[in-house]
Amino acid sequence: MRVVALVPGGIGEQILFFPTLESLKHHYPQAQIDVFVEPRAKGAYRVNKFVDQVFNFDFRDRNSLADWGNFVGMLRDREYDVAISYCSNWFVGLLLWLAGIPKRIGYKGKGSSFLTDTIERNTNQYAPQVYHDVLKLIGISTPAPELSLNLPKSDIDWVKAQEKRLGISDIGYVLIYPGSTSTTETTNNIYPVANWVQIMREFAQKQPEMSIIAIQEPEDIPLVREMKEYFPQLKIVITDNVGQLAAMIANANLLLCTESAILQIAIAVQTYTIVLTSAGRSSLIIPSSEKFLAIESSSNQIADIPPQTVSAKIWGG
């Protein structure tokens, strides 16, 4: 069987889709499984072992007729038996039909006219299960497996070199991901620098020998720079790919973060994590486990979470 999945979104969305790929490979071990993803998300598959080929296609772009024609040609040439579409665009469904794919599955909705089988999208559940539900349409009704990643040895070795460069002791380190405007269209995912600094200072007082490291993404430079200005002992790590990021998180004693792809990576590598999120989000973004704790804001703004609450969660569980 030849299967293709169309998965829009960034790296976080791809990681949430990984359990679906795992189930597909488990139930159809001989299947050829390919994915079409946006260019910004292709790097996620560095840490996934269940996909055969990854192709770029920017579903958000204003593609020309030639682009769409090439897309259909690629699908037709590979003679897929099943297409899993997470696109809400009816035009994408039409192209899957034009490509001659006999079984085309996805969510019910405005864009599902050209799909052969559809299922209601239930967003009131843990996010990986939302993707996994679509597999019911091909006879897979098991729960979604736990998130997991495949870490390349080269990325594990890179982390060891970083730990030496940063002078990290055997006691280990705490990672902080402060969040950025790249994760949301509003400011509700940004936690104030002053609050982060207060949390870090208290942590340093109680665990002076444990390093505190900030994960710096390109869009986070101003945030991290300001954090270091007020907390000079803060160490900074910049990764080149998802594998390095995942390996760095995997080696951490604790991760403090906002809702992001980094949260899902931490869940996949089983690192103790405290996530700051808005009201009512916990059950949707983390599994039921003592390793993953959510602190919900009383509002839609995580800035409303007092730093004392975060520190109490760190030390009190």
Return left, alpha or beta for 131; rule: phi > 0 is left, psi -120 to 50 is alpha, else beta: alpha
pLDDT of residue 317: 56
**Same domain assignment for residues 129 and 273:** no
Q: What are 292's strand-pairing partners?
A: 273
* Separation of alpha carbons 51 and 21, rounded Å: 7
Q: What mean pLDDT comes out for the span 102-116?
A: 93
Report the largest interatomic distance among the alpha carbons of the chain, rounded to a whole angstrom.
64
CATH code (residue 219): 3.40.50.2000
173 and 284 housed in the same domain: yes
Provide the pLDDT confidence category of residue 67 given band limits of 50, 70 and 90. confident
162: number of Cβ within 10 Å: 19
Asked whether residue 294 falls in the same domain as residue 221, the answer is yes
User: Which of 138, 169, 191 lies at the terminal end of a domain, its last residue?
Assistant: 138
Boundary of a domain, candidates 104, 138, 172: 138
**Any domain includes 145:** no
- % of residues, the chain, pLDDT over 90: 85
Distance (Å) of CA 51 to CA 36, 87, 113, 145:
11, 19, 27, 16
Grade residue 182 by pLDDT with cuts at 50, 70 and 90.
very low
Residue where one domain finishes, among candidates 114, 138, 162: 138
With respect to residue 144, please indicate whether it lies within any of the assigned structural domains: no
H helical segments located in 193-301: 193-206, 221-230, 242-250, 261-269, 282-285
- Are both 91 and 35 inside the same structural domain? yes
Query: Any alpha helices (H) in the chain, and if so which ranges?
Result: 11-27, 65-77, 90-98, 127-132, 153-166, 193-206, 221-230, 242-250, 261-269, 282-285, 307-316
Q: Considering its fold, how many domains does the chain have in total? A: 2
CA distances from residue 306 to 204, 248, 278, 312 in whole angstroms, order as listed: 18, 27, 13, 10
pLDDT of 209 over the 80 cut: yes
Q: How many CA atoms lie within 13 A of 176 on its CB side?
A: 26
Residue 191 phi/psi, 5-degree rounding, is: -100, 130
Kindly state whether residues 131 and 172 are assigned to the same domain.
no
Q: Are residues 75 and 99 in the same domain?
A: yes
Over residues 155-171, the pLDDT tens digits come to 999 999 999 999 998 99
Alpha carbon separation from 158 to 152, 153, 176, 238, 291 (Å, rounded):
10, 9, 19, 12, 25
Indicate whether 270 belongs to any domain.
Answer: yes
Please state, rounded to an integer, the average pLDDT across all residues of the chain.
Answer: 93
Q: Do residues 191 and 303 both lie within one domain?
A: yes
Q: Are residues 132 and 159 in the same domain?
A: no
Residue 134 binned pLDDT confidence (cut-offs 50, 70, 90): very high
Please, are residues 20 and 50 in contact by the beta-carbon 8 Å criterion? no
Rounded CA gap, 165 and 237, in Å?
Answer: 10
Look at residue 17 and tell me whether its pLDDT is greater than 50. yes
* Cα gap 45→170, rounded to integer Å: 31
163 part of a folded domain? yes
CA distances from 233 to 160, 162, 179, 208, 240 (A): 20, 16, 20, 10, 23
Q: Is residue 147 in a domain?
A: no
Same domain for 179 and 295, yes or no, is: yes
For residues 161 and 295, membership in a common domain is answered with yes
Q: 212-234, pLDDT tens digit by residue?
A: 999 998 888 999 999 999 999 99
Same domain, 241 and 305: yes
Structural domain that includes position 164:
153-316
From the number of C-beta atoms within 10 Å of its C-beta (0-12, 13-18, 19+), residue 170 rates as exposed
Per-residue pLDDT tens over the stretch 267-307: 999 999 999 999 899 999 999 999 999 999 988 889 999 99
Q: Is residue 143 part of a domain?
A: no
* Contact (CB, 8 A) for 201 and 280: no
Residues 189 and 303 in one domain: yes
- Residue 179: inside a domain, yes or no? yes
Q: Is residue 63 part of a domain?
A: yes
Answer whether 294's CB lies under 8 Å from 285's CB. Answer: yes
* Dist. CA 13–CA 138, nearest whole Å: 22
